[in-house]
Amino acid sequence: MHSFGYRLNGLLTFAVTILALMCAITSLSDNFNTPSPSAEIKIMNINWFQKQPQGHDEVSLTMNVSADLQSLFTWNTKQVFIFVAAEYETRKNSLNQVSLWDAIIPAKEHAKFWIHTSNKYRFVDQGNNLRGKKFNLTLHWHVMPKTGKMFADKIVLTGYSLPEEYR
Amino acid sequence: MSYFTQNSLLSFLGYPVSLQTFLPLSAPSLHFTMDWQGQKLAEQIMQIMLLVFAVTAFVAGYVLGSFQMMVLVYAGGVTLTGLITIPNWPFFNRHPLNWLDPSEAEKHPKPQVTVSSKKKGFKRHQLVFYYCR
């Protein structure tokens, strides 16, 4: 520590090391947060249900998603990414997951919401297994931090089913 | 910052600047006016201040629920620490060492290597050779 440059280097190195430690502790403090989110999805309408030229089934539906995800936010949260996925079983696959809609929630104030929307992404099956199919709608969320570990979890809502015939 | 600009800045501000710093080749190696005690003090102040500001910043951020507050407090703390510990303030120079004037140093010549010591070195060299075998 005996010249201007040495002291400057020492200060900056030590400051950055301590900053890294602070970020690690900040991320660890997220574990003390116990979230209690709630969500509800209603299928308002099946708009159409067709078999595509290639032979795959496709559905278009309108749903109403309402949720309260405010308890997921901490001081170390940058944004929460949520998406709704339809999950069902076929003869070929034990689990099929198709993402229908997603959004980014940038702040706690926007985390309590409802939205009336048709599916953002196409609900297409690998094959034609969807007639009369019972499926779950799962709301997944990824809590993205400003620094450190990302937490991901979901709510599974059961009891939805598709019509028996094409429309 | 080069040695010359820092010294001219310091003399402009009224700090005592030693003549030796303008003669890097003939003067002793200490170019800056901060003594050994001062360097130790500077390092201690730097480490303690940074740790204190880090803890303060984390507590402030956690209590206020604001990540930005934590970063701002810490950045302010780092800058303040830099301003206190990096430049050669006078309070870092309270135990200065008095180096000899170059003309005074020439009156006391360095001891010369004598012939007898050369012989001793030769013997030692032989001894080493013996052990290597």
CB within 8 Å: B61 and A3: no
B48-104 pLDDT, tens digit each: 999 999 999 999 999 999 999 999 999 999 999 999 998 888 888 888 878 878 787
pLDDT for position B25: 41
* Residues 79-118, chain A, touching B (beta carbon < 8 A): none
Domain boundaries, chain A: 1-32, 33-161
Residue A89 C-alpha from the chain's centroid: 21
pLDDT for position B97: 79
B3-41 pLDDT, tens digit each: 555 555 555 554 555 444 444 444 444 455 778 888 888
DSSP A63-119: EEEEEE-GGG--TTEEEEEEEEEEEE--SS-S-EEEEEEEEEE-SGGGGEEEEEEE-
A93-145 pLDDT, tens digit each: 999 999 999 999 999 999 999 999 999 999 999 988 888 999 999 999 999 99
> Kindly report the CA angle at B119 between B113 and B123, in degrees rounded to 5?
130
pLDDT for position B123: 55
CA distances from A124 to A67, A129, A130, B92 (A): 25, 10, 9, 74
Substitution target in B43, B63, B64, B89 with the highest count of A β-carbons within 10 Å is B43
Average pLDDT of span A40-66? 92
In chain A, % of residues over pLDDT 90: 84
CB within 8 Å: A2 and B39: yes
Q: By the CB < 8 Å criterion, does A6 face chain B?
A: no
* Residues 44-103, chain B, touching A (beta carbon < 8 A): 46-47, 50-51, 54, 57-58, 61-62, 64-67, 70, 74, 78, 81-82, 85-88
Q: Predicted confidence band at B126 (pLDDT cuts at 50, 70, 90)?
A: low
Q: Predicted confidence band at A157 (pLDDT cuts at 50, 70, 90)?
A: very high
Please tell me whether the interface predicted TM-score (ipTM) of this complex is above 0.85.
Answer: no
Query: Lowest-confidence range among A65-79, A139-153, B79-93?
Result: B79-93
Q: How far is A105 from chain B (nearest CA, A)?
A: 18
Mean model confidence pLDDT for chain A: 93
Quote the DSSP letter at residue B113.
P
Strands A96-105 and A151-161: unpaired
Average pLDDT of span A32-45? 93
CB within 8 Å: B46 and A14: yes
Point out the residue among B6, B47, B61 whose CB comes nearest to the CB of A14.
B47
Residue A84 C-alpha from the chain's centroid: 7
Fold of A33-161: Immunoglobulin-like (2.60.40)
